[in-house]
Amino acid sequence: MADSRRIVDALVRARRGGLTAGAALGGLALIGGLAYRALRGTAPPDQGGPDFSAVDEDEARLMLRAMVAATTADGMVDAAERKRLDAAVAEAGLDADGRAWLERELASPAELDEIADGVDSPDSAARIYAAARLAIEPDTLQERQFLKMLAEALDLPGEATDRVEREIGA
C-alpha cells in the first residue's frame, strides 16, 4: 500500500481538539514536532530546523500500523473511531487495495514487537509513539496499557512519553 503517508496525515487531521487544529500544516509535521519536543524538551529552531513531514513510506506504514493497533487495543473500534477512520480513508483517496489492506490490518493488528522491530532510531520511535497516541483517546485500561507497552517496546524514556501526553492533553 503506497498511501500510508496520506492516510496518517488524514487520520491526525481528522482528530478533534485544540492541538490538531494546528495540523493544517499536516499531520506528519505535527507528529514530527511532537516527537522532536518529546525527545529534546525544546521546540525546534525557527530557522533551518528539520522537515517534520519528510517521513518515508516505510515509516509512515509503521505509524499507520501503530495507529491501527492502538485503535483496536481495547478489542473494538467504537463508532467515533470508525467515523474518524472512514473520514481519513475518504480524504486520503485510498483505492480498493488500500482500503482492503486497512480492513485486514483492523482485523489483525500488528503486535508490539513487530512495530518495534521496524524502528531504527530514537526519533523514529518517538514519531511512532506520537502517532499511536494521536490515534486514540486512551479512555480504557487496555488503551493506556497498550501505550505503556508500546513505549517500553520502543525504548522511549518516560520523560518523552510524558511530554507527548502533556502536549496532546493540553
For the segment 108-158, what is each residue's pLDDT rounded down to a tens digit? Answer: 999 999 999 999 999 999 999 999 999 988 989 999 999 999 999 999 999
The set of residues, in sequence order, having a beta carbon less than 8 Å from that of 24 and lying 6+ positions away, is 13
How far apart CA 88 and CA 112 sit, in angstroms, is 23
Q: Tell me how many domains the chain contains.
A: 1
pLDDT at 163 over 90: yes
The answer to whether position 45 is within a domain reads no
CATH code for the domain in which residue 14 is found:
1.10.3680
The answer to whether position 150 is within a domain reads yes
For the segment 10-49, what is each residue's pLDDT rounded down to a tens digit? Answer: 888 777 555 555 555 578 888 888 999 999 988 777 656 6
The answer to whether position 136 is within a domain reads yes
Give, in degrees to the nearest 5, the angle at Cα 55 between 93 and 85: 35
The answer to whether position 22 is within a domain reads yes
Which amino acid is residue 6, in one-letter code?
Answer: R
The answer to whether position 46 is within a domain reads no
Predicted confidence band of residue 73 (pLDDT cuts 50, 70, 90): very high
The answer to whether position 75 is within a domain reads yes
From the CB of residue 78, how many other CB atoms can be counted at a distance below 10 Å?
14
Q: Which domain holds residue 94?
A: 4-40+51-169
Predicted confidence band of residue 6 (pLDDT cuts 50, 70, 90): confident
